[in-house]
Amino acid sequence: MPQTLAARNAANRVTLAAHNGVRAITWSILAHDPQTGAFAVAVTTCNLAVGAAVPHLRAGVGAVATQSITNRYLGPAILDAMARGVAPDLAIAGALAMDEGRALRQVHAIDRQGRTAAWTGERCVEWCGHITQAGWSVAGNMLSGEAVVADTAAAFAKGQALTLPERMVAALDAGEAAGGDRRGRQSAALRLITTEDFSDIDLRVDDHQAPLTELARLLQLWRTHRAPRMHEQPSRANPPGLHDLDVVEARFRAMGLPVRPR
């Protein structure tokens, strides 16, 4: 079950109006696939453009989600430490040691060994908490209740028949069905990285009445339009990628869009 923080004094609770920083009062899931080396983060919230604040990923290193009253500098700091072989719990502790606002932060991380760790500061907004397991982690704050994190985790654990991106979106759907963000819903994001310096999948729903439904739709579009040609993009293994203009032009001509005259 999620860690339940000690009862808080009302004077210590954070109100949204009291802070001017990035607010990612939300819940997220992060995971590692040892077969492909993929790291992924999926997140949703009742705030604008959550994908710009929460997910941090680095190929061969790990993934981090920075949320609550977000300090985005924690993401790169934790990834830098994990790149040196520091375990996620120590990487998080080291980054937070330099953050005077640590009581307001919620952050969780996973490394290339599948080790996970999380921090939920004592001044995060209720309900808040996290679950960490080998290979994946779920954390959230300002949720309708503990069931949001618990049901997200349970759905992910049971979703092994799904591919990793669909499994993560389905897990968030389960958390939404359990009540989700107690303010409502607005944005969602999904990022996944494997071998390159950039994400294989980087989908963002910045403002939508049903962000998870829209995220699932975008994921299906990615599978149709982008996934089949990922191998043609410039990469570490194939630096130029597809650069035969005859091949490119043939595709455009097939759509009635010639790119150069005969």
Q: Which domains can be identified in the chain, with CATH numbers? A: 10-225 (3.60.20.10), 235-262 (no CATH)
Which residues partner with 131 through β-bridges?
138
CA dihedral 92, 97, 101, 103 (to 10 degrees): 70
The residue-averaged pLDDT of 235-239 equals 92
- Residue 6 has a pLDDT of 36
- Residue 245 has a pLDDT of 84
User: Rounded distance, CA 256 to CA 57, Å?
Assistant: 39
Residue 160 is classified by DSSP as T
- Residue 24 has a pLDDT of 64
207 pLDDT higher than 70: yes
Q: Which of 58-62, 138-142, 256-260 has the lowest mean pLDDT?
A: 256-260
The residue-averaged pLDDT of 217-235 equals 94
- Residue 114 has a pLDDT of 97
Residues 6+ apart with CB under 8 A from 175: 27, 138, 140, 148, 149, 151, 152, 155
- Residue 40 has a pLDDT of 98
Percent of the chain with pLDDT over 90: 81
Q: How many CA atoms lie within 13 A of 17 on its CB side?
A: 0
200 pLDDT higher than 80: yes
User: Rounded distance, CA 141 to CA 28, Å?
Assistant: 10
Q: How many CA atoms lie within 13 A of 41 on its CB side?
A: 34
Which residues partner with 29 through β-bridges?
42, 138
DSSP 90-147: HHHHHHHHT-TTGGGEEEEEEETT--EEEEE-TTSPSS-EEEEETTEEEEESSBS-HH
pLDDT (tens digit per residue) in 243-252: 888 888 888 8
- Residue 156 has a pLDDT of 98
| Model confidence band, residue 16 (pLDDT cutoffs 50, 70, 90) | very low
Terminal Cα distance for the chain, rounded: 66
- Residue 5 has a pLDDT of 36
Tokens of 133: 């397991």
Helical spans, DSSP H, in 204-262: 211-225, 245-254
Tokens of 80: 């830098």
Q: Which of 13-27, 30-44, 158-172 has the lowest mean pLDDT?
A: 13-27
- Residue 22 has a pLDDT of 58
Tokens of 58: 């680095």
The residue-averaged pLDDT of 117-137 equals 97
pLDDT (tens digit per residue) in 55-97: 999 999 999 999 999 999 999 999 999 999 999 999 999 999 9
Q: Which of 21-35, 113-127, 150-164, 199-213 has the lowest mean pLDDT?
A: 21-35
How far from chain centre, in Å, is Cα 96? 20
Phi, psi of 140 (to 5 degrees): -160, 160
Percent of the chain with pLDDT over 70: 89
